[in-house]
Amino acid sequence: MGIRFILMVNKQGQTRLAQYFEYLTIDQRRALEGEIVRKCLARNEQQCSFVEHRNYKIVYRRYASLFFLVGVDNEENELAILEFIHLLVETMDRHFGNVCELDIMFHLEKAHFMLEEMVMNGCIVETSKSNILAPIQLMDKAS
Amino acid sequence: YHGILRKGQNPLFAFALDFACLCARANGVNFKGLTPYEKKKYVWKMLYIYMLGYDVDFGHMEAVSLISAPKYPEKQVGYIVTSSLLNENHDFLRLAINTVRNDIVGRNETFQCLALTLVGNIGGRDFAESLAPDVQKLLISSSCRPLVRKKAALCLLRLFRKNPDVVNVDGWSDRMAQLLDERDLGVLTSSMSLFVALVSNNHESYWSCLPKCVKTLERLARNQDIPQEYTYYGIPSPWLQVKTMRALQYFPTIEDPNTRRSLFEVLQRVLMGTDVVKNVNKNNASHAVLFEALALFPPSNIEGLTCIVCKDFILVMVVPWYVDVILQLIDKAGDFVSDDIWFRVVQFVTNNEDLQPYAALKAREYLDKPAIHETMVKVSAYLLGEYGHLLARRPGCSPKEIFSIIHEKLPTVSTSTIPILLSTYAKILMHSQPPEPELQNQIWAIFSKYESCIDAEIQQRAVEYFALSRKGEALMDILAEMPKFPERQDPLWKQSSLIKKAEDTEADTAEQSAIKLRAQQQSSNALVVTDQSPANGTPPVSQLSLVKMPSMSSENHNTAEQGVTQANGTLSVVDPQPSSSSPGLLGDLLAIEGPPGVAVQSEHNLVSGSEGALDAEDALALAPVGEQANTVQPIGDIAERFNALCLKDSGVLYEDPYVQIGIKAEWRAHHGRLVLFLGNKNTAPLVSVQALILPPTHLRLELSLVPDTIPPRAQVQCPLEVVNLRPSRDVAVLDFSYRFGTNVVNVKLRLPAVLNKFLQPIPVSAEEFFPQWRSLSGPPLKLQEVVRGVRPMSLMEMASLFNSFRLMVCPGLDPNANNLVASTTFYSESTRAMLCLVRVETDPADRSQLRMTVASGDPTLTFELKEFIKEQLVSIPTALRPPVPVPTPQAQPTTSPAALSSDPGAMLAGLL
């Protein structure tokens, strides 16, 4: 049970953030991301948000131009992950205010800090937005 | 190089140039010469380029070296980038191991967090061995703040996966149990993940943690002590709930009854509380929890009783979706849909009236498609036969149109489907009374064509339907809509297994055998019996058909197909020897089996009808009607049957040689739904059937229409809705009469809608009990009485008696072992849910007396409940009753009141 990777990809298929919780070589990553992006971006709104790919289940959600794709193993509760994506987006939204693709592009480190506070080793660590954002806010204050 | 970048060349090359230039400019030739800002910037760029899919084979060392930077921002970048770029086998990582360790054991908690996260994400075996003790110390340390401990939990999980020996099972089961008491939900969420991993490895060692998980769930489900920040769209941390339920799934059984009960309540709350709402996020989150809860349901975990509770829920919210999905499934992949799946659809639709027009419409739509799967033809034909008339006003849905579109499919289907189509035709004919002559002729032509069919099933149906349909109106009775299917066999169970099926089709066979096993354990075996009167001159050999639900019957399991064909046809011969059913299956007999002679001697009638040993009360219940002597004797003991039904929810209420009245009830809060099964056991109809309900003032009862005639060998179902208005021990009475030949029989039967049916056991802890008990200080809310003449029973027996009346005995609340404390919730419209507390003090020296204290927030309730319990303790419904000779049929209700005093309901029945 667990999250294997989290990807944020825009409509054009460019990766905006990638976090893996299992080691894949760069070639494997490239291949996997290409396949998943092709598969998921081709789907329409009516189609299910869960797709099986290789030995993963991909749970994805689209927010404006950005796709959030989470690869989980077979044991994981997909609906819970679907809402976890939303929690992630809400958390980013709280921090950036009307979060958009550019926020993530230009503040990649912050997106990483948030993810780091939320997921560790493929397991959910924290779901309280204020706890997630606390370290980042501290740093913002310090700088 | 900016030019190269702009031309869209490999950005990695550009970056490498940039990096090299920068290093050179800083003139340290190494990274160290850069300002901290530049270092950070370049390491992030490296990560960015790596993310874009370019292999970054330089700068690793620089990233790792940042870990040992003294300042937090650089250190943080170092940690995060390192854990993204490197894997556990990377040599550079070994260089960092000392720094990491120092950060973990150091005092700076932000550094601790970073280091724990790195190890949690990419720590390998060598980390496991050298760091595990430190990490464990942090995790259980009371001086550590939650933000460190939650990371330590998942760090330990990583180390445990790398090397399971780092967690010493003996020592850890206790610590784990302590960890699960955690109040901070972040720590709890992480610890639960760790726990799932530990339990999946070895659940036996972690028994002690099981009640803690249930407690956590309770806390979440009741939203107790959950900070606002952890509720997601009103749901207390759905992720933690999911995780906790997942952990529980690793335990095969829960032995402790209290824990089991608590879990059951939580699950019940989840099931009842999950509604389809407008907000998508809330919906998803609540269903994430719901599905996890469903997965906890398979019978090995919790007894079937849960399913009764869940049924309504399933019907309300999942069924329309379910029907849709299954129809689509059949449409798209009919070959893979086994018969029991479409039987299930039929069953759901039959049992849910709201759904019927919808399902019929859907079926109609599918028939318009040019090529449909044969299974779809079956479902559609069945649904349209039963419910097509509900669509009558829609375009394209007149009986004629429905007939012709179904008939179009006939040439394409196999012989197993034709009988279903024939039934549908007969039903269409039945629903269009008076039939259009043209349609009728068309259908008759088909029937007569198949009269000579080589397939016995088809032939028989054709012959019978043809003959029947010539009888015009009489067809209505025989082909009436299928009654609801008995739902005791939990739909939920099946439902959850279906959900699982989607994940794991291989488990299919295992499930099948589980279904079988369960079916064998189930005594439910509702039969729908219909007979055809031989008036048409073609009496088939045996018209008694046992219609069993395919997935429910152990015997018919392999002949499931046959089963539903019968359900569809209602007239076919199935089991010429109904007695082949095992006695166990006939246990609760919502059925009529065998000819009257057989029934009289059937094994469950402990008191045989012919030598009827009837007691006074029973005789009283048989009041004579008019001049006509009541010569029909009941089979079995009516009072005993009533008493049994007070404790269980289905069984036989009354039986005599002609008629059997079965009852099946469901209770939820102050509502109850009873179904009376009036079965005619004979080959001649019962006429002038009348059933009146004499309701006490505290119940609102609504009995659906009872037909005047019960056809031979038929069973009629009459639903009865009950609403409990206020607490009272009065009993509703059913005044039932019928005429058979010259015999007029009239019986007054107490209905088991008694006070205890509106109770819902609830466990209370000492913290909950005592304040309540003290706040209800005295009369009229708290009443005490010394009860004498208590029938002798041990405390154990008394406790189980209480439990059987849905008063939950809470052991351990009263320090005196001779005392008993019980709690329950009473539901009525006036009191709503009301907590009731009971304390019984017994005297070990004299078991015949005890002191009882009953408390609740409503004076009437307190009194009624006290009296109710007293009756249960004093009267002995079965043992006290000496067999008395058969009384004269004219027995008047003047028998000594002493015999009655113990049972006011009986008295009431007698006096009426």
**Are B668 and B272 within 8 A, CB to CB?**
no
**Chain A residues within an 8 Å CB radius of B239:** 80, 83-84, 124, 127
Identify the pLDDT of residue A115: 92
**Are B572 and B461 within 8 A, CB to CB?**
yes
> Could you give all domains of chain A from N- to C-terminal order, each with its CATH number?
3-142 (3.30.450.60)
More confident of the two residues B788 and B472 = B788
Task: Encode A69-125 in three state secondary structure.
Answer: EEEECCCCCHHHHHHHHHHHHHHHHHHHCCCCHHHHHHCHHHHHHHHHHHEECCEEC
**Chain B residues within an 8 Å CB radius of A21:** 121
Identify the pLDDT of residue B590: 36
Identify the pLDDT of residue B480: 66
Q: Do A109 and B77 touch (CB under 8 A)?
A: yes
Average pLDDT, chain B: 73
pLDDT (average), residues B478-490? 57
Name the B residues in 487-506 with CB < 8 Å from any A CB. Answer: 503
Identify the pLDDT of residue B156: 92
Name the B residues in 819-878 with CB < 8 Å from any A CB. Answer: none
pLDDT > 90: what percent of chain B? Answer: 6
- Find residue B70's DSSP bridge partners: none
In this prediction, residue B486 has a pLDDT band, given cuts at 50, 70 and 90, of low
Q: How many CB atoms lie within 10 A of CB B886?
A: 14
Say which residues have a Cβ less than 8 Å from residue B774's Cβ, sequence separation at least 6.
none
A–B: how many Cβ contacts below 8 A?
A: 126
Of A77, A121, A128, the CB nearest to B242: A77
Q: How many CB atoms lie within 10 A of CB A27?
A: 10
Q: Do A74 and B77 touch (CB under 8 A)?
A: no
pLDDT (average), residues A10-28? 89
- From the list B660, B664, B650, B657, the residue with the least C-alpha distance to B483 is B664
Identify the pLDDT of residue B286: 87
Judged by a CB distance cut-off of 8 A, whether residue B162 touches chain A is no
Judged by a CB distance cut-off of 8 A, whether residue A107 touches chain B is no
Q: Cα torsion for B139, B141, B142, B145, to the nearest 10°?
A: -50
Q: How many CB atoms lie within 10 A of CB B478?
A: 21
Identify the pLDDT of residue B442: 84
Please report the DSSP string for B677-727 in residue order.
EEEE-SSS-BEEEEEEEE--TTEEEEEPPPPS-B-TT-EEEEEEEEEE-S-
**Rounded to a whole number, what is the distance in Å from the CA of A130 to chain B's nearest CA?**
7
In this prediction, residue B191 has a pLDDT band, given cuts at 50, 70 and 90, of very high
Burial class (CB in 10 A: 0-12, 13-18, 19+), B819: middle
Which chain B residue's Cα is nearest to A74? B503
Which chain A residue's Cα is nearest to B45? A108
**Residue B596 pLDDT exceeds 60:** no
Identify the pLDDT of residue B338: 67
**Residue B898 pLDDT exceeds 60:** no
Q: What pLDDT digit, counting tens, does each position of B815-842 carry?
A: 888 888 998 989 888 888 888 899 998 8
Q: What pLDDT digit, counting tens, does each position of B238-251 carry?
A: 999 999 999 988 88
Q: Which of B254-263, B303-312, B320-329 has the lowest mean pLDDT?
A: B303-312
**Chain A residues within an 8 Å CB radius of B87:** 23
**Are B640 and B633 within 8 A, CB to CB?**
no
Q: Do B147 and A129 touch (CB under 8 A)?
A: no
Q: What pLDDT digit, counting tens, does each position of A54-99 carry?
A: 889 999 999 988 999 999 998 889 999 999 999 999 999 999 988 8
Structure token pair of residue B577 = 């020897």
pLDDT > 70: what percent of chain B? Answer: 70
Which chain B residue's Cα is nearest to A52? B503
Identify the pLDDT of residue B188: 93
Q: Do B53 and A19 touch (CB under 8 A)?
A: no
Query: Which of A4-21 are b and which e, b meaning 16 or more Cβ less than 10 Å from the residue's Cβ?
Result: bbbbbbbeeeebbbbbbb
Reported ipTM: the value is 0.96
Q: What pLDDT digit, counting tens, does each position of B436-451 carry?
A: 788 888 888 888 888 8
Of B73, B113, B288, the CB nearest to A77: B288
**Residue B623 pLDDT exceeds 70:** no
Do the annotations mark residue B43 as ligand-binding?
A: yes
In this prediction, residue A7 has a pLDDT band, given cuts at 50, 70 and 90, of very high
Do the annotations mark residue B44 as ligand-binding?
A: yes
**Are B622 and B630 within 8 A, CB to CB?**
yes
Q: Which of A16-25, B133-142, B338-347 has the lowest mean pLDDT?
A: B338-347
**Chain A residues within an 8 Å CB radius of B196:** 1
DSSP state of B318: I
Q: What pLDDT digit, counting tens, does each position of B115-173 carry?
A: 999 999 988 888 888 888 889 989 988 888 899 999 999 999 999 988 888 887 777 88
Judged by a CB distance cut-off of 8 A, whether residue B186 touches chain A is yes
pLDDT (average), residues A8-21? 90
Say how far residue B817 (Cα) sits from the centre of its chain: 36
Of A80, A129, A139, the CB nearest to B288: A80
How many Cα neighbours within 13 Å face the side chain of A70? 28
Q: What pLDDT digit, counting tens, does each position of B734-793 carry?
A: 888 888 777 888 888 888 888 888 888 888 888 888 888 888 888 888 898 888 888 888
Helix (H), strand (E) at residue B460: helix B456-469
**Are B865 and B766 within 8 A, CB to CB?**
no
Task: Give the separation between CA B217 and CA B246, rounded to whole angstroms.
Answer: 11
**Are B790 and B873 within 8 A, CB to CB?**
yes
Helix, strand, or coil here: B825?
strand
In this prediction, residue B193 has a pLDDT band, given cuts at 50, 70 and 90, of very high
More confident of the two residues B879 and B384 = B384
**Chain B residues within an 8 Å CB radius of A17:** 51
Identify the pLDDT of residue B194: 92
Identify the pLDDT of residue B153: 92
Mutate to test the interface with B, among A120, A129, A143 (most CBs of B within 10 A): A120
In this prediction, residue B613 has a pLDDT band, given cuts at 50, 70 and 90, of very low
Task: Give the separation between CA B828 and CA B857, rounded to whole angstroms.
Answer: 13
Do the annotations mark residue B71 as ligand-binding?
A: no
Judged by a CB distance cut-off of 8 A, whether residue A29 touches chain B is yes
Q: Do B291 and A19 touch (CB under 8 A)?
A: no
Which residue is it, tokens 């469903």? B294
**Residue B597 pLDDT exceeds 70:** no
**Are B350 and B344 within 8 A, CB to CB?**
no
Identify the pLDDT of residue B875: 63
Identify the pLDDT of residue B364: 84
Using omega within 30 degrees of 0 as the cis cutoff, is the peptide bond preceding B434 cis?
Answer: yes
